[in-house]
Each structure stands twice: as C-alpha cells, then as structure tokens.
C-alpha cells in the first residue's frame, strides 16, 4: 500500500466523496486517497421519513465501494491521530500515511454518555432515535397507545438541528390518523429559546405547533434519563430567572425540584443523542475551544495549517450541520485546493454559512428553511420553477422535493461531483 499521497481525504461521507469527485473532475491525474472504514454509505436525510414509515430504509444505503471514485485510492481503515507538523497521520491498521494536502471530513459521532442513563435507555429500547435507528422509531410511533410522547435534543451541536422537531410533527400527524391523539400529549422540549432561529420559518412552525396542540418547552436541556421509571430530567438553560414553565393544571405530570431542575414522565421518548467530533479530532491540536475542527469561516482552510481543510459536520462553523451546507462548502474547498496546487494562495472565502433544513411538518407537508450565518432567509430562486413562491410556508411540492427529488439529486448528481 502506498504510504504517501498528494491529497488525503478523511471520511467517505457526503463531504469526502463530493470533494474527491469534484477534484478529479478538475484534474483526473491527482493522487487522492480516501480513508474510511465503512462498508456502507447512508443517505441520512431520509431517516426522518423512515422514522415516520414514509420511506424504505434499504433505499438509504449504497455500498461505499460503488461511490469511491475509480481514480481515487480507498484506504479502508480508521484514522487514530494527526501529526500536522510532519504532514502525516496514523491509522489503526495501515500505519503512517503522508500527505501534501489534507481534507478532514470524518463527520461527527454520537456520544450518549453525555446524558446520564441514556446509553442504558437506548440499549433497552426505551428511547428511540432517528439518528441511530429510524426503523425502531417507526415501530415505537406505530405502536404508541397514548400518554406523554416526549421529543427532545441535547445542548451539543447536532447534525440537522431541525430533525428532532420534524419527527415530533410527523408523530403528531400520525397520532391523529391512528386515533390516539385525544389520549396523547406531544411535547417538544429544547434547550433553545425559540423553535427556529430564522424569523420567517419560526412564524410558520409556531402555527404548526398550535395546529397539533404540541406542548412547546423552550429552555429545557436534558441531562438524565431514568429508563426504569420513564422520567426525563431537564435543566433550565435560560439566564437569570427559570424559564421552564409548568402548564396550568399540569397535564404532563411535570415536577420541579429546586430552582432549575424539572422532571417529565414519558410513555415514549425520542431523543437526538449528544454529538461531538470524533475522538482523534477532539484530541488533536487542530480543534477550536469547543472541540471542532478550527477552520476559516469563509474558506474552510485550517486556521493554522494552510495545507489542511475541514468541512461538513466536523468543521467548527457557526451554521447548521447539514448536507445542504456541504453542497455549498465543497466547491469552495475544491477551488482553494486547486489554487494551492498551482502554488497560489487559497483566496476563495465566499462561503456565507449557507445551510438548509427541510422541515417536514406532517405527511405531505414541508417548509424549506434556507439561511446563512446571520440567519437571513435566503430561498433558492430555483424553487419558483417548482411553482413554490414562498418556501417559508407549508407546501406539498416541498414534500415531493424531500421524498423524491433530493434523494435522486444526492445519488445521481452530488455523489458524482456535479454542482446542484
């Protein structure tokens, strides 16, 4: 096995494959190696629909071998550490690999241990999560007979920050269809202060919450799960006065202990596990204070090592970690790498924080949140070609985009290096 490559890409996910394919479209003589141990590549954005029984899980998977570009080398291994000063990295089984340029795109990892009792609750099947097993989520929703259906998320950054509320809306819709809504309290508890940071989207989502009668609980940060008693424990995240409000007549059976701890009993719990950068990234000298890869917000070039770039979920960027963000980041990283290969400076700093969250609000309904670093609503003009005049409002055509068009574009365009 070759131990030195011109460009090494860590990660065979969306960011890694797209970067490799676009680089090879620019110059198919480049020596590129992709390091990833996985046999299977998943289209994870569809897992929300899998969790609601609206998409086939098997259709979200493709073999990694079918996606690695033919002109790239695939090192099927784990990275264990970096030595950026020597332009090398260590792997679990393949030894030391050297590089001229490095692209760090390994994604993120789930770390349930950051919430007390969560690993045990997940192991027992008490907690479901679209992030780890969307088929289990669907079985849980399908067999739910009433009570408190609690949906929540951690204080850490997570991939697709809107996903925990999407499944709450779909579940609420399904409970209406299955006839258990009258016996059910759907609760969405979030550490955040608002339902969504983009004002235009927030207005629509508050109407959706009202339509389903969802109990919206801002400032609720989960820190402990008691799987045996089926109780979730939350801390107040608001500065100053406790903003965790127990509803009048207390239909949820909440209990307040002390000034800032609140308990919610549940009959069903969907939780996005806490998420962090992979261990080999967190323990390196390449991260920012929050433990994510330290990169320039416009160019994705590392803040100290100029021959290193980072993008996708591992990057320390103040925007949502989504496939849509990667779609905009990749061409900029590719452009900058081509400039460096030509012995020029990486001057493309045009990434504006674009990200997108397809907020499914029910079966056949969706809102499309597109925004930048400043949470400005920046809808794609191409949506008008789909006869969608205002994507901040619910539309059935947006549902069709989510269920059919986006998966097609992903497998047939993005994974093949085409800009979409």
Name the domain boundary from 326, 351, 376.
Answer: 351
Q: Is residue 388 part of a domain?
A: no
**Is there a single domain that holds both residue 298 and residue 234?**
no
Identify whether residues 261 and 345 lie together within a single domain. Answer: no
Residues 122 and 94 in one domain: no
Give yes or no: residues 128 and 223 share one domain: yes
Nearest to 154 by CA among 237, 232, 230, 221: 221
Query: Is 379 part of any domain?
Result: no
Report how far residue 250's alpha carbon sits from residue 54's, in angstroms, rounded to the nearest whole number: 34
CATH number at residue 290: 3.50.50.60
Query: Do 31 and 170 sit in the same domain of this protein?
Result: no
3-state SS assignment for residue 214: coil
- Length of the chain, in residues: 420
What's the pLDDT at 387? 85
Quote the domain boundaries for residue 315.
4-108+277-351
The answer to whether residue 418 is domain-embedded is no
Q: Is there a single domain that holds both residue 44 and residue 176?
A: no
- Backbone phi, psi, residue 86, to 5°: -105, 0
pLDDT of residue 239: 74
Please identify, among 299, 318, 351, the residue that sits at the C-terminal boundary of a domain: 351
Question: Is 395 domain-assigned?
Answer: no
For residue 75, is it left (φ>0), alpha (ψ between -120 and 50) or beta?
beta
Instruction: Report if residue 169 sits inside a domain.
Output: yes
Catalytic residue (choose from 160, 172, 186, 401): 160
Query: Which H or E element spans position 176?
Result: helix 163-178
Annotated catalytic, 160? yes
Same domain (yes/no): 230, 186: yes
Q: Which residues of 296-326 are buried (b: 16+ CB within 10 A; e: fewer)?
A: bbebbbbeebebbbbbbbbbbbebbbbbbbb
Domain annotation covers residue 92: yes
192 and 308 both lie in a single domain: no
- CB atoms < 10 A from the CB of 40, how many? 12
User: Which among 351, 382, 405 is the end of a domain?
Assistant: 351
Query: Number of folded domains in the chain?
Result: 2
Taking the chain (420 residues) in runs of 10, the rounded mean pLDDT of each run is 92 98 97 98 98 98 98 98 97 97 98 98 97 98 98 96 97 98 98 96 98 96 98 89 73 87 97 98 98 98 98 98 97 98 98 97 98 96 86 97 97 94
- Residues 307/278, Cβ–Cβ less than 8 Å: no
Going 123 to 128 to 132 to 137, the CA torsion angle's sign is positive
357: annotated active-site residue = yes
Does any domain span residue 292?
yes
268-271 and 127-128 strand pairing: parallel
* Residues 36 and 145 reside in one and the same domain: no
The helix-helix angle for 323-341 and 14-26 (nearest 10°) equals 40
* Sign of the torsion formed by the C-alpha atoms of 403, 404, 405 and 409: positive
Name which of 37, 65, 61, 103 is nearest 281 in CA terms: 103
Would you say residue 382 lies in a domain? no
Strands (E), 52-208: 61-63, 73-75, 79-83, 88-91, 96-104, 109-110, 127-128, 147-152, 184-189
- Could you tell me how far CA 225 lies from the centroid of its own chain? 22
The active-site residue, picked from 126, 170, 357, 415, is 357
Residue 149 shares a structural domain with residue 245: yes
Q: Are residues 221 and 268 in the same domain?
A: yes
Distances (CA, A) of 63 to 48, 66, 158: 21, 5, 25
């Amino acid at each position: 096995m070759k131990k030195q490559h011109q460009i090494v890409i860590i990660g065979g996910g969306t960011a890694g494959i797209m970067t490799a394919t676009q680089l090879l479209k620019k110059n198919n003589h480049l020596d590129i190696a992709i390091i990833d141990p996985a046999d299977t590549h998943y289209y994870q954005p569809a897992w929300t629909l899998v969790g609601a029984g609206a998409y086939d899980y098997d259709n979200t998977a493709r073999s990694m071998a079918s996606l690695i570009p033919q002109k790239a080398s695939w090192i099927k291994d784990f990275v264990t550490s970096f030595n950026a000063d020597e332009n090398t990295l260590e792997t679990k089984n393949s030894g030391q690999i050297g590089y001229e340029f490095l692209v760090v795109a390994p994604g993120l990892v789930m770390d349930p241990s950051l919430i007390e009792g969560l690993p045990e609750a997940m192991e027992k099947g008490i907690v479901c999560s679209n992030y780890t097993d969307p088929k289990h989520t669907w079985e849980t929703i399908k067999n739910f007979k009433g009570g408190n259906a609690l949906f929540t998320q951690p204080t850490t950054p997570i991939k697709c920050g809107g996903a925990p509320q999407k499944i709450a809306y779909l579940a609420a819709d399904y409970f209406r269809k299955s006839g258990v809504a009258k016996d059910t309290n759907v609760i969405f508890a979030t550490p955040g202060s608002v339902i969504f940071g983009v004002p235009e989207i927030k207005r629509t989502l508050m109407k959706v919450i009202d339509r389903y009668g969802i109990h919206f609980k801002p400032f609720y940060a989960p820190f402990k799960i008691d799987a045996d008693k089926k109780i979730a424990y939350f801390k107040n995240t608001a500065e100053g006065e406790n903003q965790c409000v127990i509803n009048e007549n207390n239909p949820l059976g909440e209990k307040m202990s002390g000034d800032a701890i609140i308990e919610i009993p549940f009959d069903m719990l969907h939780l996005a596990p806490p998420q962090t950068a992979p261990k080999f990234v967190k323990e390196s000298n390449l991260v920012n204070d929050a433990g994510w890869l330290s990169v320039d917000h416009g160019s994705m070039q590392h803040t100290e090592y100029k021959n290193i770039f980072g993008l996708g979920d591992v990057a320390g960027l103040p925007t949502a970690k989504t496939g849509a963000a990667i779609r905009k980041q990749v061409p900029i990283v590719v452009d900058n790498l081509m400039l460096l290969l030509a012995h020029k400076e990486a001057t493309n700093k045009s990434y504006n924080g674009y990200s997108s969250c397809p907020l499914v609000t029910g079966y056949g309904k969706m809102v499309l949140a597109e925004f930048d670093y400043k949470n400005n609503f920046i809808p794609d003009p191409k949506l008008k070609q789909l006869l969608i005049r205002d994507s901040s409002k619910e539309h059935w055509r947006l549902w069709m985009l989510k269920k059919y068009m986006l998966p097609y574009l992903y497998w047939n365009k993005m994974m093949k290096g085409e800009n979409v």
